[in-house]
Amino acid sequence: MTVQMPVEAAAPPSGGFEGSTGGAARVFDWLRRNLFSSVSNALLTVLVVGLLIIVVPPVFNWAIADATISGSSKSACTGDGACWTFIKLRLHTFFWGHYPDAELWRVGLAAVLLVAFLVPVMRDQVRHRGFFLLLLLTVYPLLAGILLVGDVLGLPYVDTSEWGGLMLDVIISFVTVAGALPLGVLLALGRRSELGVFKYLSIAFIELWRGVPLLTVLFMSAVMVPLFLPHGVSIDRLLRAMVAFTLFNAAYMAETVRGGLQGVPVGQEEAASSLGLGWWHVQVFVTLPQALRIVVPGIVNNIVDLFKDTSLVTIIGLVDLLGAVEQSLKDPAWLGLAKEGYIFTAALFFVCCFAMSSYGRRFERRLNRHRTGAP
């Protein structure tokens, strides 16, 4: 008697021809749905690809292949490519302005402290993040100011006129956000208040500052404010600019936060009040957490706009990143290198703004996961 053994079907090889065919099919399907879904999309795709083929090779040759980065003067840039030697030799000015070389360790220590204060605020696992946020907005500016200005604890004094470059943009942005966000929240609450005095004062403040261009506000802080000060009294120009930025951006923050407050159902406030909570407790523990979660994208947009607007301080004599580049381009030893300078400035601003926007999106997704209970 012959016994026939069952023949097992051979498993198809993994990662072979069929796998590669399936991957190619998915790629073609994605291209069809996203780039060639209609005649107009197909024409636009072909046009963009053609432009890239025309533009990318010469840009690559100019910026990388034929570029010069070595040397110590413009004479080293003998080719047809970009002269990145200019950027390399001016990095100190572009990042720190005219801050003394011997005191740059203070800038580094201030940056390390900023990271140390930021980490507990940005991590979900840390308890009492609100307390660490309060420290970031109150204690850190005091410590950073002592480090950067000096004249205490044996630190040499460094005048704010020597501050500049990207460091100045970051300082103005941080101080403005630290002041404008809390003030904007108070103004938004005041505008919705039932007390007429607070309501109309908040409305007047918001509409006044939103109706005036930032350029005019900076001119007022730099030119007009000193005229109204008593004889012999002076306020640092950088401090005046930061106050102007703070008041101006507080009005926009207030409108952003007010939109979030309007998105919170009225029934939640009524329910909290029925439990015996006072008005401030209702706002702090019930309304504001939900409102701020709603307006995270708007707040991030305001911060990104603020960071870009800091370049306007060049018109009042402060030298930020853009101002440092423009001053360097006027140096007779580096004439004719505007393309390199402005491309470097644009790239640096793009990296900073993209990083802020990306973190804002991740933060918003985390908040949504916590709200829905998703892992």
- What are the pLDDT tens digits along the chain (375 aa)? 444 555 444 455 554 445 556 667 788 878 777 778 788 888 888 899 999 999 999 999 988 888 888 888 888 888 788 889 999 999 999 999 899 989 999 999 999 999 998 888 877 677 777 788 888 888 898 999 999 998 888 899 999 889 999 999 999 999 999 999 999 999 999 988 888 888 999 999 999 999 999 999 999 988 888 888 888 888 889 999 999 999 999 999 999 999 888 888 888 878 888 888 887 888 888 888 888 888 888 899 999 999 999 999 998 889 999 999 999 999 888 888 899 999 999 999 999 999 999 888 888 887 777 666 555
One domain, residues 145 and 171: no
One domain, residues 279 and 323: yes
Among the three residues 111, 141, 157, which one is the final residue of a domain in this structure? 157
Domain hosting residue 354, numbered range: 162-372
Q: How far apart are the first and last CA of the chain?
A: 61
297 found inside a domain: yes
CB 93 within 8 A of CB 109: no
Spatial CA neighbour of 163 closest among 222, 221, 106, 88: 106
Tell me the two tokens of residue 257: 């936060």
89 found inside a domain: no
Separation between Cα atoms, residue 102 and residue 190, nearest integer Å: 48
One domain, residues 138 and 193: no
One domain, residues 230 and 274: yes
One domain, residues 302 and 186: yes
Among the three residues 131, 157, 183, which one is the final residue of a domain in this structure? 157
One domain, residues 282 and 207: yes
pLDDT of residue 171: 93
329 found inside a domain: yes
One domain, residues 197 and 135: no
Mention every residue, 6+ apart, whose C-beta is less than 8 A from residue 310. Answer: 168, 169, 172, 173, 245, 320
Whichever domain contains 265, its CATH number is 1.10.3720.10
113 found inside a domain: yes
- How is residue 162 annotated by DSSP? G
Give the number of other CB atoms < 10 A from CB of residue 224.
10
One domain, residues 229 and 356: yes
One domain, residues 134 and 220: no
110 found inside a domain: yes
Task: Count the domains in the chain.
Answer: 2
Q: Which long-range contacts does 309-312 make (Cβ < 8 Å, 24+ apart)?
A: 309/214, 309/245, 310/168, 310/169, 310/172, 310/173, 310/245, 311/169, 312/214, 312/215, 312/218
Q: pTM, whole model, 2 decimals?
A: 0.84
One domain, residues 230 and 336: yes
Among the three residues 139, 157, 175, which one is the final residue of a domain in this structure? 157
279 found inside a domain: yes
pLDDT of residue 251: 94
Distances (CA, A) of 163 to 118, 121, 321, 334: 23, 28, 11, 22
244 found inside a domain: yes
One domain, residues 197 and 282: yes
pLDDT of residue 100: 92
One domain, residues 258 and 282: yes
Separation between Cα atoms, residue 343 and residue 351, nearest integer Å: 12
197 found inside a domain: yes
pLDDT of residue 326: 92
